[in-house]
C-alpha cells in the first residue's frame, strides 16, 4: 500500500480541477497545468479533493499510484504558490546578472557564460552572488537550476562555484607540508 497515494490532494480556494479520462487539468491564480496519468491508476474528483486509486494489485499499478498522486499534488502547488530554487555563487570575481531574457555568468572562464531562460521560467539575480529560479512546473524549475549549476559546480577545496542555497559541500583538506 502506498502511504503517499492514500492521501487525497485538497484543492485550495481559487483553484479548480477537471478530470477527463486519465488527464487532470488544474487552473489557479498562477496559471494552468495538466498531467496525463498512466492507465494503471484512476483519478477521481470528489468535491474539493482529488484522489488517486490503483486499478489493480500489480507492481506497476502500485508504483504509479504514489507517483501519480505526487504529480497531481505538484500541479496544485504549482498553480497556487509555484516552485522556487535559490542558487548561491562563491568565488572571487564570480557573479551573475540578468540582461533581458539572458542570464550572464562570470565564472572564471575566459568568456562570459550566457544562459537563455526557457519559457515559463523566471530567473532573477537580486544580488551579484544570488540567482533565483521560479515557475509553476517543478520539473522545469529544477532542470533550469541544474543547468545553471552545471556551468561551475562547487569544488571541495575552497567551495568555489555555484551551489543550491543550504547545500552542504563536503570540504577536503589541502596539501600538507
Ordered DSSP codes for 95-122: EEEEETTEEEEE-SSSS-EEEEPPTTEE
113-136 pLDDT tens trace = 999 999 999 999 999 999 999 999
79-94 pLDDT tens trace = 999 999 999 999 999 9
pLDDT of residue 99: 94
How many beta carbons lie within 10 A of that of residue 155, not counting itself? 14
Handedness of CA 15, 138, 114, 164 (dihedral sign): positive
Quick one: which of 11, 97, 91 has its CA closest to 50? 11
Q: How confident is the model at residue 175 (pLDDT cuts 50, 70, 90)?
A: confident
74-94 exposure pattern, b = at least 16 Cβ within 10 A, e = fewer? bbbbbbbebbebebbbbbeeb
20-73 pLDDT tens trace = 999 999 999 999 999 999 999 999 999 899 999 999 999 999 999 999 999 999
Bridge partners of 102? 99, 116
H-run or E-run covering 75: helix 59-80
Quick one: which of 7, 3, 43 has its CA closest to 26? 43
Q: Taking 80 as the threshold, does the pLDDT of residue 1 lie above it?
A: no
Q: Considering the entire predicted model, what is its pTM?
A: 0.88
Q: Which domains does the chain have, with CATH numbers?
A: 3-80 (3.90.930.12), 83-164 (3.90.930.12)
Q: What are the E-state strand segments in the chain? A: 9-10, 16-20, 23-28, 31-36, 41-46, 49-54, 83-90, 95-99, 102-106, 113-116, 121-124, 130-135, 161-164
Across 150-154, average pLDDT: 95
pLDDT of residue 55: 92
Quick one: which of 94, 43, 45 has its CA closest to 67? 43
Amino acid at each position: 500500500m502506498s502511504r503517499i497515494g492514500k492521501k487525497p490532494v485538497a484543492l485550495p480556494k481559487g483553484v479548480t480541477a477537471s478530470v477527463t479520462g486519465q488527464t487532470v487539468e488544474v487552473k489557479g491564480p498562477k496559471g494552468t497545468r495538466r498531467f496525463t496519468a498512466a492507465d494503471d491508476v484512476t483519478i477521481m474528483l470528489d468535491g474539493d479533493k482529488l484522489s488517486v486509486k490503483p486499478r489493480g494489485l500489480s507492481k506497476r499499478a502500485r508504483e504509479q499510484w504514489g507517483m501519480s498522486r505526487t504529480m497531481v499534488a505538484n500541479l496544485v502547488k504549482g498553480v497556487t504558490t509555484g516552485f522556487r530554487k535559490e542558487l548561491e555563487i562563491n568565488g572571487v570575481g564570480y557573479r551573475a546578472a540578468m540582461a533581458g531574457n539572458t542570464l550572464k555568468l562570470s565564472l572564471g572562464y575566459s568568456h562570459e557564460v550566457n544562459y537563455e531562460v526557457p519559457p515559463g521560467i523566471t530567473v532573477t539575480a537580486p544580488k551579484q552572488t544570488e540567482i533565483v529560479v521560479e515557475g509553476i512546473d517543478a520539473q522545469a524549475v529544477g532542470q533550469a537550476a541544474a543547468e545553471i549549476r552545471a556551468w561551475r559546480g562547487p569544488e571541495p577545496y575552497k567551495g568555489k562555484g555555484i551551489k543550491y542555497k543550504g547545500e552542504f559541500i563536503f570540504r577536503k583538506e589541502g596539501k600538507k607540508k
